[in-house]
Amino acid sequence: MKRFWGLLFALLAFAPASYAQDYPSKDIHAICNFAAGSGADIYVRYFAAKLEQLVGRTVIVDNKPGALGNIATEAAAKSKPDGYTILITPASSTLAMARHTFKSLPFDPIKDFIHVTTLAQLSFVLTVDPKQPYKTVAELSEFLKKKGDKASYGGGSNSGIVSAELYKKFAGVPGLMVPYRDPQVSMNDMLGGQIDFIFADGPFAIEHAKAGRIRVLATTSKQRLTALPDVPTMEEAGVKGFGDITPWWSVEVPAGTPKPIVDKLEAWFNRIVASDETKKFLNNLGSEPFPGTQQSLKELIARDMERWGDYVRLANIQPQ
């Protein structure tokens, strides 16, 4: 009997390592928090395609928009912890900030995930309808003050809402938040005059700005973007006290995923991030490579839960 149990324990100990050695043996699903065509979708599809090339298995992008990213995050947290469902996410918003912007969450940002590695840092940008006469943040602020309680902005992500509320606070302008699930719809409404401005993520906005569909007035980052060298930061544009809003992306898997699989994913994604192709891709979208490790990401999330909590309180955002 002792021999039987000894053999059983040996087999159980060997199983995870053997399983990880064969990983991946089937398609991988990469969950995206936001709609197809969004800036988030551009990110997720790029990294999914690069992972697919690297491992020789199909990586399917599953868009699960809604609840400012919570629907996708919950789906990832509750998925089978086998490495075949991963979450490529703007985690500074969907994990670190979410605890402060919602009264309750259907997942625990720390306990329900293994944090694999960071991918990129990016800026949000203040965008308006190019048909409107205001071409600077100061001119937009003057317009909003005159419009008063009829002024409004589109809110589709935690980072965008925080950026807008900080702008309102430090520039002393009004603006009612109108929620959106799809950034394309919010942009269409802005161009149609239903809302006045949007703080959009760089990957989504820069593409449209270069095509002349929207006008970018400022960036939320501390420094100007490589992709938009002539566009000032919010601080440079005169919104003193705005600070530095620089969200970041990471790869997450559900808690319980075998460590050998997590280690593989960490190595693969850092290899992707280190490539010149990825740096060029990110720079063109107003972003920078941000490689990391499981440990550095775990520490970053813990720190940013406090930092983003301070931003939420400073912007006087009430939890939903």
157 and 255 in a single domain? The answer is no
Residue 13, pLDDT score: 52
In a domain, residue 60? The reply is yes
112 and 176 in a single domain? The answer is no
85 and 73 in a single domain? The answer is yes
133 and 106 in a single domain? The answer is no
Average pLDDT, integer, range 272-278: 97
In a domain, residue 236? The reply is no
Residue 83, pLDDT score: 98
* Number of compact structural domains in the chain: 2
Single residue among 219, 235, 266 that ends a domain in this structure? 219
Here the CATH number for the domain that contains residue 38 is 3.40.190.150
Q: At what angle do helices 39-55 and 276-284 cross, to 10 degrees?
A: 170
Quickly count: other Cβ atoms within 10 Å of residue 171's Cβ: 22
In a domain, residue 226? The reply is no
Give pLDDT tens digits for 92-130.
999 998 989 899 999 999 999 999 999 999 999 999 999
Mapping DSSP to helix (H, G, I), strand (E, B) and coil, where does residue 253 land?
A: strand
In a domain, residue 231? The reply is no
Give pLDDT tens digits for 252-273.
999 999 999 999 999 999 999 9
Say if residue 251's pLDDT is above 80.
yes
7 and 116 in a single domain? The answer is yes
Contacts of 63 (CB under 8 A, 6+ apart): 32, 34, 35, 36, 41, 72
111 and 165 in a single domain? The answer is no
191 and 297 in a single domain? The answer is no
Structural domain harbouring 116: 2-123+247-314
